[in-house]
Amino acid sequence: MKPIARQVIFYGVIFGLWSLICKLHIWPPYVLPAPWAIVEALWAGFQDHSFPIAILASMRRMLIGYGISVVLGTFLGIVLASNRFFEQTVSGLLVSLQSLPSICWLPLAVLWFGLSENAILFVIVMGSLLSVTISMETGRKQMPKIYSMAGRNLGARKWNLFYHVLLPASMPYIVTGLKQGWAFAWRSLFAGEMIYVTLGLGQQLNAGRDLNDMNLVIAVMILIIAIGTTVDRLLFRTIEKRLQMKWGLLSAT
Amino acid sequence: MTLTLNATEDPTVLDENGNRIPVGAALVSPDAESATPKLWLQNLSLKYKTTGGERMLALDSIDLKVRAGEFLCIVGPSGCGKSTLLFLIAGLHEPTSGAVLMDGKKVIHTGTDRIMIFQEHGLFPWLTVEENVEFGLKMKGVEKKLRRERVREYLNLVHLGKFQKSYIHQLSGGMKQRVAIARALATEPDVLLMDEPFAALDAQTRDLLHDELERIWAETGRTIIFVTHNVREAVRLGDRVAVLTFRPGRLKREYLIDLPRPRHLEDTAVAGTARDILGDLREEINKSLAVEYQQ
């Protein structure tokens, strides 16, 4: 049986069981809405443009926050990997800070930036910056020395050495970091968006809660999962696969 | 016939005797016989700090002259610093004292006139075969059309013309070393520094690559310094074999190899000469083993 067939059966069974339970009226619909009610809510959301607007607003924040993380994290990672003092001090601190869930930055963000766009961006950056930084640093450190020696030997210096040797040599680590960073940023985004009334999917979730609209709540959750998975599959998995094929880390399937 | 020279003697003796080498000498351009050797390792020493913090003398006052077009092999027990010596010549390490002179000028940085070939090939897995060979030329700023031509030329030289679009992991060990040789030659260096390049290969592949390397050397007239722990390999390839001592690495003795070329690993003359040298080397190997057993 093909994997896709297994998946169709798996989701078919879930949908069937869910429908069955709803038909039996064990729980009232505001606790467990029927799947078709969710589909209707999704349809309505796209009809009145509230979902597309929310998605655009969230994605815009996401791109800005993640963008800051990538630029800053890349820079920080390189600095950390090339300086013994920072490596022995700042690196340890960063690893400790990573044990702090990004939602814990929220109160601090509100006190610093008020109920503003910047507070949300701050939470996104704090959520994803560390994993980008750490994997960038790991990549630079774990990279086999022979690549940089061979590069220097063949006449690469400074910028050329960095751009043509060090950067591609640590690419497997960097991609892992970028992917992880994206996932963390995605989680932090919705934590941030629930702090005050913004456009965005996080606020749609909050609206669902306030209006006691369970259909809306689950519809938005499904949207968040769908977008997150799509980006992961289409963007990061594709890049990872191509890299692994090139490097021979993955046998051709 | 083998001629033995003591390393402590004046190294110019070697240049005078260089005329006696029948095949190697044909590759030497007339001006190479003059006073400036292609490479002159002047009293090279290297100390480094061990993890324990003590300073260890890795190489001790190595003095060695290499003619243009010469094939010099360096043998020694593992840990004698023979690879380190190549790193110094390549400019990847700095000597604690002494200097490396190339055409009479002091070597300070890495340079594409001295290209190294590593045991673990050091090819870039993110580039294709063609892009690997092209790399040094790109760094040199050679224009694209010329780069393409050179890449094709050198890939053909190592019989890998058909594999230009392959990635490194798709090649066998022997093919990888061939790409490494093509990559090194493409920058047209005066000196090739080879650090046990065939040590990880099976015997048949190694045999084949010995023939190829000898042919390439004869065709291109490059100066080659070839480090190995395999004495037979050194005798099969070299115009001269230098033996290093174990910790610190000192020049123990040099042997001129004037056996006719092309040679083969199984030639009785090669085997006989190797045995003479091995007797000399055995002493050093025993010292290295003693240290190993202590630890």
Give DSSP secondary structure letters for A51-111. Answer: HHHHHHHHHHHHHHHHHHHHHHHHHHHHHHHH-HHHHHHHHHHHHHHTTS-GGGGHHHHHH
Residues A69-81: what's their mean pLDDT? 90
Answer whether residue A133 is part of any domain: yes
Cα separation, B133 vs B155, in Å, equals 8
Residues A206-232: what's their mean pLDDT? 93
Best-predicted range by mean pLDDT (A62-71, B82-91, B245-254): A62-71
Q: Which of residues 154-173 of B touch A (CB under 8 A)?
A: 167-170
Residue-level pLDDT at A88: 83
Residues of B in contact with A146 (CB under 8 A): 118, 120, 122
Residues A122-131: what's their mean pLDDT? 93
Q: In 3D, which of A227, A233, A142, A135 has the Cα closest to residue A176?
A: A135
Residues of B in contact with A159 (CB under 8 A): none
Cα separation, B177 vs B120, in Å, equals 8
Residues B23-50: what's their mean pLDDT? 66
- What is the total count of domains within chain A? 1
Interface test with A, best of B83, B126, B137, B196 (most A CBs within 10 A): B126
pLDDT tens-digit readout, B151-200: 999 998 888 889 989 999 999 888 999 999 999 989 989 999 999 988 88
Is the pLDDT reported for residue B12 higher than 60? no
Residue-level pLDDT at A79: 87
Is the pLDDT reported for residue A154 higher than 90? yes
Answer whether residue A121 is part of any domain: yes
**Predicted complex ipTM:** 0.79
Q: Which residue has the tokens 């607003």?
A: A57
Is the pLDDT reported for residue B14 higher than 70? no
Answer whether residue A145 is part of any domain: yes
Which one-letter DSSP state was computed for residue A233?
Answer: I
CATH number, domain with residue A150: 1.10.3720.10
Q: In 3D, which of A247, A221, A154, A231 has the Cα closest to residue A185?
A: A231
Residue-range definition of the domain harbouring residue A239? 43-247
Cβ-based neighbours of A37, under 8 Å, separated by 6 or more? A29, A215
Is the pLDDT reported for residue B21 higher than 50? no
CB atoms A153 and B167 under 8 Å: no
- A247 → closest Cβ in B92, B118, B125: B125
Q: Number of helices and strands (H, E) in chain B?
A: 9, 11
Q: Which of residues 185-224 of B touch A (CB under 8 A)?
A: 187
Q: In 3D, which of B230, B238, B237, B272 has the Cα closest to residue B254?
A: B238
With contact defined as beta carbons under 8 Å apart, do B242 and B6 qualify?
Answer: no
Residues B230-251: what's their mean pLDDT? 90
Answer whether residue A35 is part of any domain: no
Residue-level pLDDT at B129: 94
Answer whether residue A179 is part of any domain: yes
Interface test with B, best of A145, A154, A243 (most B CBs within 10 A): A154
Cα separation, A108 vs A112, in Å, equals 6
Q: Residue A86's pLDDT band (boundaries 50, 70, 90)?
A: confident
Residues A67-81: what's their mean pLDDT? 91
> Which domains, from first to last, does chain B contain?
2-113+190-294 (3.40.50.300), 117-188 (no CATH)
Q: In 3D, which of B227, B207, B180 has the Cα closest to residue B66?
A: B227
Answer whether residue A30 is part of any domain: no
Residues A19-32: what's their mean pLDDT? 89
Residue-level pLDDT at B26: 35
Residue-level pLDDT at B35: 61
Counting residues of chain A whose pLDDT is more than 90, the rounded percentage is: 56
Residues of B in contact with A155 (CB under 8 A): 110-112, 136, 139-140, 187
Answer whether residue A74 is part of any domain: yes
Is the pLDDT reported for residue B269 higher than 80? yes
Q: What is the DSSP string of A142-182?
A: HS-HHHHHHHHHTT--HHHHIIIIIHHHTHHHHHHHHHHHH
Answer whether residue A252 is part of any domain: no
The mean of the pLDDT values for chain B is 83
Give the helix ranges, DSSP H, for B43-143.
82-90, 129-140
Q: Residue B120's pLDDT band (boundaries 50, 70, 90)?
A: confident
CB atoms B187 and A147 under 8 Å: no
Cβ-based neighbours of B282, under 8 Å, separated by 6 or more? none
Q: Residue B143's pLDDT band (boundaries 50, 70, 90)?
A: very high
Residue-level pLDDT at B16: 41
CB atoms A150 and B124 under 8 Å: yes
Cα separation, B221 vs B242, in Å, equals 21
Cα separation, B245 vs A65, in Å, equals 60
Q: In 3D, which of A191, A53, A221 has the Cα closest to residue A122?
A: A191
